[in-house]
A and B are shown apart, each in its own frame.
Chain A
């Protein structure tokens, strides 16, 4: 009976296959090692784009792109359309996810050097797609016509005016037109729902074509020696089902976040209300916002700041032609990896700082200290990682990744815990002597002692676990030796 059923199902599947040609895909098979979510961050970005498309088209049925009706129609979606608020929430959160995934896709590509020969143009096209994604964010933000969105967009448009006159006139003509709120909103709407999606689809097609020509990049450590890891998997059904599973998990996460944190609509834009409001861009533009708030870039310095931001984008765009080294291994690229880490850290620091200090002008010395300090800290941490961890310089056999990660996390956590405990202890002792005993001083003293008392036995346990798992403790401890060689 079972055999008969199997045969029937096999016959059914064969019938569909012969009619639809599902297994006769011309697409290149994907290697088994690429069945890892990090290889498919770009695909997940496309999934986010598709969810945006579907939710956006439904919202287009109700939205009216005119200053007098934009807010009212958005409010109508929120309050009257069935599950309209949920739809708006999903649209916004998937937009955030799309930007974040695109950024992660870019940084992952940078760290594992996928941009190197022969994939330079894939990187360039991908970067342009990233700019278009940011364009989606910029144009879409204005559409609800709230005091938050309109004020932030006006700041953005004001910054464009500081560009060289030919460039600023061209951009302003494109996005604002002859002037006036009505033209501005209509242009933004057209860009958001027609021009940018069309451009993105063309670029996506181009990138997919190049991916098909060059194939998925092999790991930065080279082709796996294990033949089963390098074997090709057919696009249908293997890769298709794998990707559908990933997309389902992503969609599930988006739905859950939208259900738990539903969006609320800020008040409608009026010039009077905007005058009382400190404009602040959405999180993905906060780093630029914070750079522009540094006092040296105020007023006449604005073009310099804008040139700096433009330069960052240009360097990102032409990166494959800057980083021309042959090796793709992370171990052999300390300079570029460190620069990448500093770049990510600076973006996070600037964005967080921008979020916490809306409208405040930042002193130049303070900015140099914070940004310079971040760069130095990350640089030193990266240098330490390159020297403490095995595999650097080819002197050591590289242990399994999990072992390295566990050792590194354990070491860094204990070091951070110990340093915090000592710093805290010294601080509370000094305050105890200088200011005198108080409840908070004594409490801090006790807490710091507890922390140190926890760190010491944990360090012993950590070293013991290394010893018990890997044999000679002395051999394992070479990981922690600065610039160690094989002695």
Chain B
């Protein structure tokens, strides 16, 4: 599997987990609106990264590793923030 496909697969997993978690929040336990917002933000950010990888691969330009690293760091910070807020 190409590295970019691996990135997309990983991001899809993150997105799916975030989505399930987000919709499960109210069923399992009470979480603040902040926690909800952050899981929705994780979902959107991972989608933005997938869109970035998809478009740049399609245009034959390759992906810039710095953006992927920055995006992944952003996702980790958001996850940590969700722990803090919950």
Contact = CB atoms under 8 A, between A and B. Distances in A.
B45 A252 contact: yes
A255 B40 contact: yes
Contact of B48 (A82, A249, A258): A249
A85 B47 CA distance: 26
Contacts of B85: 259
Nearest to B50: A245
Given A233-B59, A238-B58, A256-B78, A248 B44 contact: yes
Q: Which of A35, A242, A255, A260 has the most CB of B within 10 A?
A: A255
A328 interface: no
A188 interface: no
A246 B49 CA distance: 10
Contacts of A277: none
Interface residues of A, number: 26
Taking residues whose C-beta sits less than 8 angstroms from the other chain, chain B's interface range is 20 to 34
A32 interface: yes
A253 B78 CA distance: 11
B36 A245 contact: no
Contacts of B26: 82
Interface in A62-117: 82-83, 85-86, 90
Given A248-B47, A248-B51, A249-B44, A32 B59 contact: yes
Interface string B42-78: 1011011111101100110000000000000000001
A245 B48 contact: yes
Contacts of A82: 26
Contact of A256 (B37, B47, B51): B37
A262 B35 CA distance: 12
Contacts of B35: 259
A242 B41 contact: no
A244 B59 CA distance: 17
Contacts of A86: 33-34, 36-37
Given A248-B45, A252-B41, A83 B36 contact: yes
Contacts of B48: 245-246, 248-249, 252
A219 interface: no
B52 A245 contact: yes
A32 to B, nearest CB: 7
Contacts of B44: 248-249, 251-252, 255
Contact of B37 (A238, A241, A258): A258
A255 B51 contact: no
B85 to A, nearest CB: 7
Nearest to A87: B33
A86 B25 CA distance: 15
A434 B58 CA distance: 70
Q: Which of B47, B58, B85 has the most CB of A within 10 A?
A: B47
A459 B20 CA distance: 54
Contacts of A83: 33, 36
Top 7 nearest A-B pairs (CB, nearest first) are A245-B51, A86-B33, A259-B34, A259-B37, A248-B48, A248-B44, A252-B44
Interface of B: 26, 33-38, 40-42, 44-45, 47-52, 54-55, 58-59, 78, 81, 85
15 contacts: A82-B26, A83-B33, A83-B36, A238-B55, A241-B55, A245-B49, A246-B48, A249-B44, A252-B40, A252-B42, A253-B41, A258-B37, A259-B81, A260-B34, A262-B34
